[in-house]
Structure 1
Amino acid sequence: MQNSQELSLPSMGCGTWAWGNQLLWGYDESMDEQLQSVFNLCVSNGVTLFDTGDSYGTGRLNGRSEKLLGKFSQAYQGVNQDNICIATKLAAYPWRWTSKSMVKACQSSAQRLGRNVDLVQMHWSTANYAPWQESGLLDGLADLYEQGLVKGVGLSNYGPKRLEYVYKKFSERGVPITTLQVQYSLLSTYPVTELGLKDVCDQLGIKLIAYSPLALGILTGKYSETGPFPKGIRGLLFRQLLPGVRSLLECLREIAASRQKTMSQVAINWCICKGTIPIPGAKSVEQAQQNIGALGWQLNASEIAELDQATGSADKKMVQNIFQTR
């Protein structure tokens, strides 16, 4: 049976991928009230697209990110309540290779959320390492749409060639692709400038979602070359990147000052001006307020050109996702 529901996609998302990382590293239940406040603030200010994944909060946490998001959406009562859009990504685990396994995975996500998934996405393509696995997974996504279990389907970390392949495959079944999610920011322009994904998405009627629009926090201006740095691999990455992006950060800082905005708000607004839906993470009310401050205004053409030039001349770029296909 063809899905007759239409997915109304909000103009900006509040990405829960950051919550997922927090769940994996030191989450405890004392954070629930704080995260509920973040959720409430976002929705009341018109930020109603929330993106998560069934791999966020694995092991003993057992999909905790989806459980929390479901809990928060059920508890919220107020303006924009009916506009909340829940998107989740299903991981291409090696033990998932049939269409039924994807349908079952989405049903499990819906159970954890306590509601149907609005937008279901393939978290990554297996084309780079196990191309034989992907066909069944894609069939499962199409089945979910045809059975009316989701309002829309999307992809994540797909390049233009693979995207066009899936688009053709889905078109034969009358299944539209609503979104494509890629790593995109002032420090990660590769999917657009080198792969040309935005042009392809525009041609196919697909909305481009930008994850990690603040480049893991580098574009917030919070970190300097002398430290302190985050712990672990992220800290090592920052040590390598910061000296090479000095001119970009200075350009971002100057525009933010002239606009009376923060560097984060300018970086997110740049993504919006490029025609994408940025999904910055928010683990505190202060971070959510920062994200919301990126809405309701636009950088002018001169400012965008300055940032583009600074980005193009930066000596360092953000490391690309290993699953990104061409």
Structure 2
Amino acid sequence: MISSDRYQNMAYGKCGSSGLYLSKFAIGLWNSFGGTSSYEKGREILLTAFNEGITHIDGANNYGPPPGTAEEFLGKILKQDLKGYRDELIITTKAGYEMWSGPYGNWGSRKSLMASLDQSLKRMNLDYVDIFYHHRRDVNTPLEETMDALADLVRQGKTLYVGVSNYAPRELEAASEILEKKGIHLLIHQFRYNMLSQEPENGLFEAMNKKGIGSIAFCPLEQGLLTEKYLDGIPLSSRAKDENSWYFHEEDITKRRIEKIRLLSGLARERGQNLAQMALAWNLREGGVDSVILGASRKEQILENVKSLQNASFSGEELLRIEQILGDE
């Protein structure tokens, strides 16, 4: 059942210089939704997120696994549970990583982007998405071709806004300038960002601010490392044990990192939060990102994460302590 007071626990903010408001958290469809996951559990997670005021659903053509099944899952939920709420949702998808074999199911050509979005819309049974992203820069395709395809997809009504993901600062500015000449604003950039992965602070935030581009972070908890789950060893169910993990491996869990996590956990307790809640609040602090993508394998994680908004500000002393703990991380 959909709650009538679902907006009470959530905060919203404008995406860059646009007029679009995003919930401070988005629910991500990567890994926990699709053909190898429980439909009922995924449905419970997604509806819990919506009832907590999370209106933003972040997907991609190749999410699952297998690729495409996360979008098929979302299509079922939209039809079964959220049919009357389409205009309260921000639904996104992406293209740019391998989706099907052959030369057109990957990267950033006009052919691949347009074909991919058409397929995504069919899987989700939608007429349009709210945001369509180019998932990663393709150095073998002229940037003008990729941006021209994005602009045409807006004009065709298949997406309301466009964004990019995993672009370097110089590439991001160039993409924005190409779209500006076509009368299209580059709405948002999606990138990896958390306490243990602060590379975007080396020029990326400056580029986004310069061009009025919104920001959304994935892996805000570094695949669970910024929680208490690794303080007593590596659980067998951890993604760090998965040799196919993209961003997180067993060798990343060093003794030095665990010591830092213990200190961060102590600071979080002083703030009346657990470590995950403090890490999420840190991402959303002043000078941080506009929105954060949450991954979840059970609904209780959503409920706990949303509570981080109850204490989302930091004193100068707290920020200094975090910086000192992290050191040269």
- Taking structure 2 as the reference length, the TM-score comes to 0.82
- 8 Å CA contact 1:103, 1:143 repeated in 2: no
Task: State whether structure 2 residue 60 is matched by structure 1 residue 53.
Answer: yes
By how many angstroms is 1:291 displaced? Answer: 1.9
- 8 Å CA contact 1:118, 1:150 repeated in 2: yes
* Equivalent of 2:198 in 189, 192, 196: 189
The 5-angstrom pairing of residues 21-36 of structure 1 reads 23=34, 27-28=36-37, 31-36=38-43
Task: State whether structure 2 residue 143 is matched by structure 1 residue 107.
Answer: no
Amino acid at match of 1:173: K
Task: State whether structure 2 residue 325 is matched by structure 1 residue 310.
Answer: yes
By how many angstroms is 1:213 displaced? Answer: 0.4
By how many angstroms is 1:77 displaced? Answer: 4.8
Task: State whether structure 2 residue 163 is matched by structure 1 residue 154.
Answer: yes
Gaps of 5+ in 2: 1-17
1:53 aligns to what SS in structure 2?
Answer: coil
With over 3 angstroms needed to count, the CA separation of the structure-2 counterparts of 1:81 and 1:308, relative to structure 1, is farther
Aligned equivalent of 2:15: none
Aligned equivalent of 2:46: 39
With over 3 angstroms needed to count, the CA separation of the structure-2 counterparts of 1:77 and 1:69, relative to structure 1, is closer
* Equivalent of 1:73 in 65, 73, 78: 78
Aligned equivalent of 1:91: 96
The 5-angstrom pairing of residues 117-128 of structure 1 reads 117-127=129-139
Amino acid at match of 1:44: N
Amino acid at match of 1:17: W
By how many angstroms is 1:269 displaced? Answer: 0.8
Richer in helix (by share):
1
Task: State whether structure 2 residue 242 is matched by structure 1 residue 219.
Answer: no
Task: State whether structure 2 residue 290 is matched by structure 1 residue 271.
Answer: no
Amino acid at match of 2:48: L
- C-alpha offsets along residues 212-239 of structure 1, whole Å, 9 cap, x if unaligned? 0000111112013643353223598234
- 8 Å CA contact 1:224, 1:242 repeated in 2: no
* Equivalent of 1:290 in 298, 304, 307: 304
Task: State whether structure 2 residue 74 is matched by structure 1 residue 64.
Answer: no
By how many angstroms is 1:15 displaced? Answer: 1.8
By how many angstroms is 1:66 displaced? Answer: 0.8
- 8 Å CA contact 2:52, 2:303 repeated in 1: no
Aligned equivalent of 1:322: none
With over 3 angstroms needed to count, the CA separation of the structure-2 counterparts of 1:77 and 1:109, relative to structure 1, is closer
By how many angstroms is 1:18 displaced? Answer: 3.5
With over 3 angstroms needed to count, the CA separation of the structure-2 counterparts of 1:236 and 1:47, relative to structure 1, is closer
- Taking structure 1 as the reference length, the TM-score comes to 0.83
Amino acid at match of 1:179: I
- What fraction of aligned residue pairs are identical, expressed as a percent? 27
In structure 1, what is the Cα distance between the partners aligned to 2:248 and 2:157?
45
Aligned equivalent of 2:177: 168
By how many angstroms is 1:62 displaced? Answer: 4.7
- 8 Å CA contact 1:88, 1:119 repeated in 2: yes
- 8 Å CA contact 1:145, 1:152 repeated in 2: yes
Amino acid at match of 2:89: I
- 8 Å CA contact 2:75, 2:123 repeated in 1: yes
Amino acid at match of 2:79: Q
| Structure 1 vs Structure 2 CA RMSD | 2.6
Amino acid at match of 1:182: F
In structure 1, what is the Cα distance between the partners aligned to 2:86 and 2:311?
24
In structure 1, what is the Cα distance between the partners aligned to 2:109 and 2:86?
35
